[in-house]
């Protein structure tokens, strides 16, 4: 398999139907030529639970692996029923907002993130190379969901670790980013409402944490000894990208690159 094409971002965009026709056709051709690429795409379809009808025609062998298109059935609903449902929804939203205002990041979840990040620092070797899409997909299969996993190469961070650990709230997806001069950044993803929707920042000594939730997936960024301005900018851009569910745009990448040139070296 060609490790340069299609990469993780391209495979994910293909399944989401976001590629232009030429690139999508190239991905479909790669899937027809390489069973490993086809398996990765099929797994993404299954994890996302989406239909493949919205994407360009794929090879026959690949279509056999894909789930059947999902069908929705519409049922007539009366105006009174709609009004009743809206009333219930508004009440639920206000109740959720009241709960969210007092909700804090569980200390045991933060402790797990700190421990997992520390274990990675102890065992990581800079010569280990980058984690390939197959490794990421294997972890996502165990995790059972497809969260947004950003490309942070513009700030000189590449994915060096992808694993799933047992946390206090269930499975935790751990994506570790390695910098060129000793920097390490961990992205943790958990399912459910353990992580509050409202963004939270926690600084304890040299430890920095930024957490937020998008629908039913909670995200937590953790770093030790990273320049604060760099960590905050990364957090801002990654959070915004997860809420859009799309890669970092050119402006964000340029900002991260410029900030990296000015930031102090990590001292973890």
pLDDT in tens, 138-188: 888 888 888 888 899 999 999 989 999 988 878 999 999 999 778 999 999
Q: Is the pTM of this model over 0.85?
A: no
Question: Which pLDDT score is estimated for 90?
Answer: 46
Report pLDDT digits (tens) over 21-37.
888 888 888 888 887 78
Domain limits, CATH 3.40.1000, in the chain = 105-262
pLDDT at 84: 47
Q: Which of 190, 183, 185, 163 has its CA nearest to residue 174?
A: 163
pLDDT over 80 at 5, yes or no: no
Backbone angles phi, psi at 202, to 5 degrees: -130, 125
d(CA 66, CA 52): 7
**pLDDT tens profile 227-263:** 999 999 999 999 999 999 888 899 999 999 999 999 8
Predicted confidence band at 49 (pLDDT cuts at 50, 70, 90)?
low
3-class state of residue 40 by DSSP: helix
- Hey, what are 135's tokens? 């490794």
The CATH number, out of the four listed (1.10.1200, 1.10.3810, 3.30.420, 3.40.1000), of the domain defined by the range 105-262:
3.40.1000
**Confidence bin at 195 (pLDDT 50/70/90):** very high
Beta bridge partners of 167: 170
As beta bridge partners, residue 164 has 173
Task: Specify which residues 211 forms β-bridges with.
Answer: 200, 220
User: In whole angstroms, how large is the CA radius of gyration of the chain?
Assistant: 20
Confidence of residue 101 (pLDDT cuts 50, 70, 90): very low
């Amino acid at each position: 398999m060609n490790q340069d094409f299609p990469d993780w971002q391209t495979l994910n965009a293909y399944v989401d139907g976001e590629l232009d026709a030429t690139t999508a056709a190239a991905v479909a051709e790669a899937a027809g030529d390489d069973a490993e690429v086809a398996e990765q795409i099929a797994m993404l379809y299954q994890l996302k639970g989406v239909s493949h009808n919205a994407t360009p025609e794929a090879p026959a062998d690949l279509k056999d692996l894909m789930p059947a298109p999902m069908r929705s059935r519409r049922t007539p609903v009366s105006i009174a029923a709609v009004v009743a449902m809206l009333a219930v929804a508004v009440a639920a939203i206000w109740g959720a907002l009241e709960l969210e205002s007092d909700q804090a990041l569980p200390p045991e979840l933060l402790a797990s993130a700190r421990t997992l990040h520390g274990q990675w620092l102890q065992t990581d070797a800079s010569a280990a190379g980058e984690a390939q899409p197959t490794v990421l997909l294997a972890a996502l299969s165990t995790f059972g969901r497809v969260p947004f996993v950003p490309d942070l190469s513009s700030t000189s961070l590449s994915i060096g670790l992808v694993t799933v650990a047992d946390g206090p709230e269930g499975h935790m997806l751990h994506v570790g980013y390695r910098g060129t001069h000793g920097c390490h950044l961990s992205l943790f993803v958990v399912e459910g409402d353990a992580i509050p929707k409202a963004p939270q920042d926690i600084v304890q000594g040299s430890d920095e944490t930024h957490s937020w939730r998008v629908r039913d997936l909670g995200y937590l960024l953790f770093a030790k000894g990273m320049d604060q301005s760099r960590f905050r900018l990364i957090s801002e851009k990654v959070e915004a990208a997860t809420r859009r569910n799309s890669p970092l745009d050119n402006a964000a990448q340029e900002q991260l690159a410029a900030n990296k040139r000015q930031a102090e070296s990590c001292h973890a």
